[in-house]
Amino acid sequence: MHETDNLNFTPLALEILKDRYLHRDAEGNITETPKQMLERVADSIAPDPEMAQLYYEIMANLDFLPNSPTLMNAGRPSPHGQLAACFVIGIEDTMSSICEALRKQMLIHKTGGGTGFNFSKLRPKNSTVNSTNGRASGPVSFMRLFDLSTEVIQQGGMRRGANMAILNADHPDIREFISCKDEEGKITNFNLSVGISDDFMKKVVSDHHSPEAALLYDIAKHAWKSGDPGVIFLDTINKDNHRPDLGTLDSTNPCGESPLFPNEACNLGSINLANFYDPTAPMGIAWSRLGKTVTTATQMLDDIIDISHYPLPEIQAAVKKTRKIGLGVMGFADLLYLLRIPYNTSEACQTAEKIMSFIKGTARIAANIQAAAKGHTINETVTCVAPTGTLALLANCSSGIEPIFSLSHTRTITKGDGTKIDIQIFNPAYETLLRDNTITDEQLKKICVTAYNIDYKDHIAMQAAFQKYTDLAVSKTINMSNEATADDIYNAYIMAWTQSCKGITVYRDGSRASQVLTMHKDALPEVKCSTC
Give the residue numbers marked as catalytic: 253, 255, 257
| 262 within 8 A of 249, measured Cβ to Cβ | no
Among 85, 60, 64, CA closest to 156: 85
Dmax (CA) of the chain:
77
The Cα 162–Cα 392 span in angstroms is 18
CA end-to-end span of the chain:
32
Helix, strand, coil % in the chain, rounded to nearest 5 = 45, 15, 40
- Cis status, amide bond into 79, omega within 30 of 0: yes
Decide: helix, strand or coil at residue 218.
Answer: helix
The CA dihedral of 521, 527, 528, 530, to the nearest 10 degrees, is -110
Number of neighbours of residue 31 by Cβ within 10 angstroms: 10
- Per DSSP, helices labelled H in 387-517 are 389-395, 428-434, 441-447, 456-467, 486-498
The Cα 29–Cα 251 span in angstroms is 39
Number of neighbours of residue 29 by Cβ within 10 angstroms: 8
Q: How crowded is the C-beta side of 427, counted as CA atoms within 13 Å? A: 29
The Cα 522–Cα 407 span in angstroms is 9
The Cα 314–Cα 264 span in angstroms is 9
